[in-house]
Every structure is written in C-alpha cells, then in structure tokens.
Amino acid sequence: MANKCPKCAAENPKTVKFCGECGTPLPALKGHVPAVTETFETPVNELTTGSTFAGRYQVIEELGHGGMGRVYKVFDTKIREKIALKLIRPEVASDKDTIERFGNEIRLARRIGHRNVCKMFDIGEAEGAHFITMEYVQGEDLKSMIHMSGSLSLGMLLSVGKQVSDGLAEAHGLGVVHRDLKPQNIMINKNGNAKIMDFGIARSVREKGITGPSVMIGTPEYMSPEQAEVKDVDHRSDIYSLGVILYEMATSHVPFEGETALGIAMKHKGDIPKNPKQLNPNLPDDLSGVILKCLEKDKAKRFQNACDLRADLERIEKGLPTTERVVPMPKPVTSKEITVKFSPRKLLIPGLVMMALVIAAIVIWRAVPQKTAAPAKSAKHSIAVLPFEDLSPTKVHEYLCDGIAETLINSLSNIKDLWVPPRTSSFSFKGKDLGIHEIGRQLGVDNLLEASVQVVGTRLRITPKIINADDGSLVWSAQYDRQMEDVFAIQDEIAREIIKALKIKLLGEKEAPLIKSYTGSTEAYQAFIKGRFYWNKRTAEGMRKSVEYFEQAIEIDPSYAVAYVGLADSYITLGQWIFLRPKEAFPKAKEAALKALAINDSLGEAHTSLAAVKYNFDWDWKGSEKEFKRAIELSPNYSTAHQWYGELLVVTGRLDEGLKELKRAQELDPLSLIINAIIGGWFCYYARDYDTGIIQCKRIIEMDPEFHPAHQFLWWNYVGKKMYEEALKEAQKTNYRWAVASLYAIMNRPEEARRLLADIIENPEQSEIGIARVYFQLGKNEEGWKWLEKAYDERAYSLIFIKMDPFYDQIRPDPRFQALLKKVGLE
C-alpha cells in the first residue's frame, strides 16, 4: 500500500517517513506501526506572496496579523474569486477542543446572510496549519478611520451605528453572539458599507486571561462588565461593545483606559463612564443618552435588542437637518452603499456672509418631469456587456470592439425590464483578471455578454456568448462571419438573441430594429466609434483626436445626429479642462448640439450637451435647467444628464437637490470613477465636509491611482482641512501649476510662489482664475481682482463655482464680489 504525500501527492513506499519528491514528513498509514517514533510536520506559520496554499489558494498579499494569526488576501482557484484567509497561529490551533469549537461556531456564523456582516466560509487544515476562509472586504477598518479623522461627524456616527445594529440584529436573531465587537472588526468597504468581521471566532478562543486560566476574554477596551466578571454573556454584551464604539466615534476616546488589561476590565465592571458630551460638546443630549444606555453595567438596563438601539439612532437622525445627515449613496445594482457626510456647521463662515448668500439663492423646486426612470433593481432581467476582445495581432481594432459593445449597451438600455449597466461601469473591468462571478456580483447582474472580434480585410467575425454570472454556465453563443457593411445587422441580431435567451417579452413592433444606428454608412459609423474611443480616454490628445473623427463622421453623413452630440461633448470637455480657451470651445459645442437637435429633437444626449453649454458658458441657469429636465424626460437612464444637472444645482446653492441628482447618476452608473469622485470629493468640498472628502478621494485613488480628478478633489479637501503639505503633494500630481503656486503662498514660501506665477502668466494656456487665486493668497488683492475681471471677460469656466467655493470666503465681504456674482447670474 503506497503512502501519498499530503503536499505534492507523490506515491511513496509505506516504509518511508519522508516524501522522496519534496521531503515532507509522511503521515502514518492505518495499521502501519513505524519502526521509530513518527516526526510531526512543522506547521506553516506564514504564507509567501505568490505561493499557493492548500493546492487551491494563491496568495496575493498579507492584510494584517494579530493574536489569532495572519490574514491574507488570496485567490481561490476553485470558485475563481478573491477571498480572505486567516492562518491560525499554531499555539491557538494546537488545542483540539478549540478547533472543534471553531468548526461549530463557524457553521452557525455561516447562517448569517446580511450585507453588514462579512460572510464566513469554512475552516480547514493543510500543510500542518489550520485556517479560516471568509469574504474579502476591500476598505479600511473603523479604528483606522477614527485614528485618521478623530471624532467622526454626527451623520457618519449614526450611519455606521445603524448599519452595525442591523448586522447584529440579524446575527442575534439566529442565536449568534459576536463577543469581540470592536472598531478593528468593523470594515468600511470601498462603497461605504459597514461590515462586521469575525463572527464565529471570538467564542471559540480560550486564553489565559485576567481572571485565571482557560477563560475566554474579549478586547479589554470593548468588553462588557459580564465578560470582565467571567459570567455567561448573551447578545446584550454585543450592545455594550457597540456602545463603546459609538462613544469612541463621538469623542475619539474609549470610555475606559488603563495600563493593563486587568485595570481596564475592572473599570468596565465598576466605574461610571464620563458623559461623552463632556468630550464633544456638539453631541446632542439624546445621542449621549443612547450611548450611556448601551454602557449600563446591568444588562437588563441596556437596550434589550439591536433593533431597539437602531430605532433610537434612526429617530435621532431624522431630527437632524437634512444637510447634516450622512446621505447613503443610492443602492447600485451591487446592493452596496457609499455614504457621504456633511455638516451644516461646516457651511458657516465668518460673519455668516455665506449663510445669507445660500439662503438668498434658494429657489422653488420646479416639477419633476413626468417620465422618470425606475430604479435599476426593479428590472426583472439583467446583463452586462463587457468590452469585446480584439483578436487582431496588432490590436488595431480596439475602437471597433469598444464601439460595438457600447452601441449594444445604449440600445439594450432602452428595453423595458432589462437592466444593463452603462459603459463606464462595464468597461471598468477592462484589462483586469476577475472571475465571472465577481464581475457579476460587482455589477449586480445575472448574466454577462462577452465577445471577440476579428477583422480580415473587409470581413468581420464576431463571436459572442452569454454567461450566467452565478455559476459560469454558457447560456448562449454564436459566430457571425459577415462583411463589415453588415455590422448594423449583426448588432441587431445579437441584441435579439439576448432578448430571446433572457426570455424577455418585447412590446410594440417585434420586427423594428433594436439597434439605433442613426446612419446608414459603415464608414461614418467607424469614424464615430473612433471618436468615442478617443473621447473616453479623457486626455488632451484623445479629445482632440475625437474632434477629428466626429467631424469626419459628419462629413461622410451630415445627418448623423449622434456624431454632432459627440462633437459637442468633446468641445465641452476641452473647455472645462482648459485644453481650449472657453470662447473657442463652448460656442463650437453649442453649434454642434443645436445641429444635433435640428436633426433629431428627441435625443436626450443632445439636450444634455446644450444644457451643459448654457450653464458652463452662457450662464443661462434657467435655460440650462429646462434643457436638463427635457433631457432626463427623454433619456431617464442617461447618467451624465443626472450628473451634470446635479452639478448645476450644487454650484447654484441647491445642495440637497443637487445631491439627489448626483445619487441618481451613481445608481445608474455605480462604478463610474468620475461620478463617485464628484459625490465623494467634489460635493464634500463644496458642502465643507473635508473629512469625508479626503476619505472618499483616497478610495477612488485606490481603485485607479492615475485618475486625475480624484487627486484634484483630494487636494481641495486637504486645503479645506489646512493640511497644506498633503495638499501640495496631490496638487503636484495634476496639471494645475497655479495650484502649486497657491499652496506655496499659503505655506509662506512666497518666492517660490512668485517664480512659478511669473512662468504661468507667460503660458498662453494660463488660467485667469488660477492666477487670481495665487495673487489673493500672496495678499495682492488688487492684482487678484484684475485677473478675476479678466476671467469674466474670457467667460472662464471656473467662474461658475465662485458662489459655493470656500476659497472665496476671504473676499466675499468685498462689494466687488457681490457685483461679480450678479454678472455671472449667481445672485
């Protein structure tokens, strides 16, 4: 009988003790009595990045370590997903009773299925070590957030408290108690959701603790009095621990501190916590009362369940002004949340001048268009169209792959009962090695459409397939070998096959084309999709190329309405990013938008482009709002319309209404970097909630370190927090040299500021607004006003932000500022 190696699976003679291939100690065979004492395998203490553990888990990186062991992010090759793996320390795992309890508790914890609880998978043993697998949550723990930000805003405190209460209520209802709840065990993921970690672990660990051997303890700062007294604990122990966490979020301090674990535990047992309002005078009395009720020594006097605690937190939240609440981001199709917080206290400025301006600017909200989009989650069916793969050796047809996929997305989005994530979200996975299930989970869809494209001369081959995102099974596939001129027909056939495969019943004319081509010319279409390809790059060169291709498409087919829209959007972006002077860019954008509408007045995208010009350049605020409402009425699922309309509302002082539109844009396009950055960084800056802006911008940068707007908004929020060194580092990553000069001036480095400013002024593409800001920071106010007047003469794009931009607080009392507001139409 051969003896199989547990590590490399090589067959060995039953008489040997070590594997002949890899040298691993071999287990004793049943019935085999070794001639000498068996040698135990040395357990694995840590894993190496790039290695494979247990023949299944590819180690990506270590996430952290603690008393239990080390935690790694791994790729599970069996289920094709990234998960977290906790390698248990040998001294903990050596107790068989402990491991048995682990297994029992994790089996209980696996029953918890809640979005605020990290999913536990299993406990296993390999290579002499025990390990636990669980859901991988990208983000940072609450402890780190508190350490970085100090006491959190009232809105954030209530939001996290409610989410943790929700998770606890679900677990407690299933009879599972955490027993080691602490901010280190609460992760805030990249979308702002709180997730409780390590259910099913704390109860199983027995250590030599403060009251004697083999006694289970929690973390001293967060343990309940009954834990300190070594009494039996129930779900109310978790409520006490949550009370400590709420206390720490409110004050940046835990209620009891000490030199030793024993000392801290004794304080939980006998000392009365200081009222948190003494440490944070801005804390409402009723919230202080809720926290202190959680911290009652007698568990019968605490909240008796997490639902009651949550209800009180929600009651307090409802009593806050709308602008002080943490606004949950719309539930995208992934059922995740992003939260944004801001406080009206931060909207006040010296002399209350800003308050008067904001109040004076509020206008009556006009009726919402009758035709509004249904929430994405209401759709019965869902499919994501992923970027098509270019099989040409030189990859010269990437534009065609992207264009065909985008055309399908735009057309399928108009079908009732079908949710199709927009291009920005679907294409965010381009070039990333993620499994089908993970992509489907992040996009919140049941199915994925993949395809490859080959072009040989005038021949076109497209091989599409629909894959079930849940189990990876093939739903449908086909192969189309046609001439390039048949590209429109192929797209329509694919769309119909998708409808058929998903069993969607079409209304209206069944034979009517599903794909709107807007042109009969394949040459014009190819030029148009090349224009879209380069416009999506969002670089100066890319946008200039996009103009060339859109103009080429229009030259081939002068009635190609969407090509005019593309041309308009290219000029708008060139003007916004100061790659072209505003007086050159925006009139051309307006001309193109009007031509598109002259051809087809029902294009919501064209109305959106015209609306953008009206407020970016014409300063026609009412006219712009009218166009945005018409655009949303015609194309309710067009995320850009909601985004730009939200921006208009914010810069005119209508923060609540603006955030509502921005949230709708995010719901429609949940993975859009720019929309998430606008909500997380741009909006928070104008709402003066710099702490949240910093946190959210950092998360965007984690997703894409090269994403320019996130660095820009991060520098803004750092300036708001007077964190000038950090702001300078971010500003240096952008193209805005005036920002660097401005920061030099703020940081008392005037010579450097003046040298850089002189160079900027000589630049033909200089920013009048930027130069004005540097002069103001240098104390040269008259020079600053001169450049502001130049900005007005040039109709500089950035003037639309002056009403809400905190930078201008220093000159708001000047009558010239009021006059400028009136000239721009913002007063």
DSSP per position, 711-761: HHHHHHHHHHTT-HHHHHHHHTTSS-HHHHHHHHHHTT-HHHHHHHHHHHH
Q: Are 571 and 539 in contact (CB under 8 A)?
A: no
Position 16 scores a pLDDT of 47
- Which contiguous run of DSSP H or E holds residue 545? helix 540-556
Please check whether residue 409 is in contact with residue 420, taking contact to mean a CB–CB distance below 8 angstroms. yes
What's the pLDDT at 708?
85
Cβ atoms 240, 224 nearer than 8 A: yes
pLDDT of residue 546: 94
Supply the mean pLDDT for the chain: 82
How far is 803 from 805, CA to CA, in rounded Å? Answer: 6
Q: How far apart are CA 38 and CA 17, in angstroms?
A: 8
CA-CA-CA-CA dihedral for 738, 744, 750, 754, to nearest 10 = -20
Task: Please check whether residue 184 is in contact with residue 196, taking contact to mean a CB–CB distance below 8 angstroms.
Answer: no
CATH topology assigned to domain 521-635: 1.25.40
| CA nearest neighbour of 274 among 309, 239, 301, 250 | 250
Residue 14 three-state SS: coil
Contact 534, 509 (CB under 8 A): no
The alpha-carbon radius of gyration of the chain (Å, integer) is 30
Residues 475 and 498: their CA atoms lie apart, in Å, by 10
Q: How far apart are the first and last CA of the chain?
A: 91
User: Residue length, the chain?
Assistant: 827
Virtual CA dihedral for 576, 582, 588, 592, nearest 10 degrees? Answer: 30
Q: Alpha-carbon torsion 538, 541, 545, 550, what sign?
A: positive
H or E element in which residue 209 lies:
strand 207-209
Residue 257's DSSP bridge partners are none
Catalytic residues: 180
- In a 13 Å sphere around the CA of 532, the CA atoms on its Cβ side amount to 22
Nearest partner of 798 among 809, 787, 811, 783, judged by Cα: 787
Q: What per-residue confidence (pLDDT) applies to 90?
A: 81
User: What tokens does 811 get?
Assistant: 């000159």
Query: What are the structure tokens assigned to 452, written together?
Result: 């490859």
Measured over the CA atoms of residue 522, residue 523, residue 528 and residue 531, the dihedral's sign is: positive
Q: Find where tokens 């998978």 sit.
A: 121
Q: Give exposure, 180-210, as e/b (b: 16+ Cβ within 10 Å).
A: bbbbbbbbbbbbbbbbbbbbbbbbbbbeebb
pLDDT at res. 128: 84
Token code pair at residue 746: 């703020």
Tokens of 160: 């996290």
Dihedral angle of Cα 775, 781, 787, 792, to the nearest 10 degrees:
130
Question: Rounded to whole angstroms, how far apart are CA atoms 292 and 304?
Answer: 14
pLDDT at 513: 65
Please say whether the beta carbons of 249 and 146 come within 8 A: yes
Give the span between the Cα atoms of 675 and 653, in whole angstroms: 19
pLDDT for the residue numbered 548? 95
**Burial class of residue 753 (count of CB atoms within 10 Å of its CB; 0-12, 13-18, 19+):** buried
pLDDT at 745: 96
Which residues of the chain register pLDDT less than 50?
Answer: 15-16, 18, 20, 23, 30-41, 202-217, 322-323, 325, 327-377, 508-510
Distance (Å, whole) CA 331 – CA 192: 11
d(CA 482, CA 485): 8
Residue 489, pLDDT score = 86
Is the pTM value of this prediction over 0.85?
Answer: no
Q: Which helix (H) or strand (E) holds 606?
A: helix 604-616
Question: Among residues 190, 182, 102, 200, which one has the least CA distance to residue 142?
Answer: 182
Helix (H, G, I), strand (E, B) or coil at 556: helix
Contact call for residues 167 and 196 (beta carbons, < 8 A): yes
Instruction: Specify the pLDDT at position 614.
Output: 97
Q: How does DSSP assign 505-537, residue by residue?
A: PPPS-TTS-SS--S-S-HHHHHHHHHHHHHHTT
141 contacts 243 by C-beta, under 8 angstroms = no
Predicted confidence at residue 43, as pLDDT, reads 60
What Cα–Cα distance (Å) separates residue 482 from each residue in 177, 459, 495? 62, 6, 17
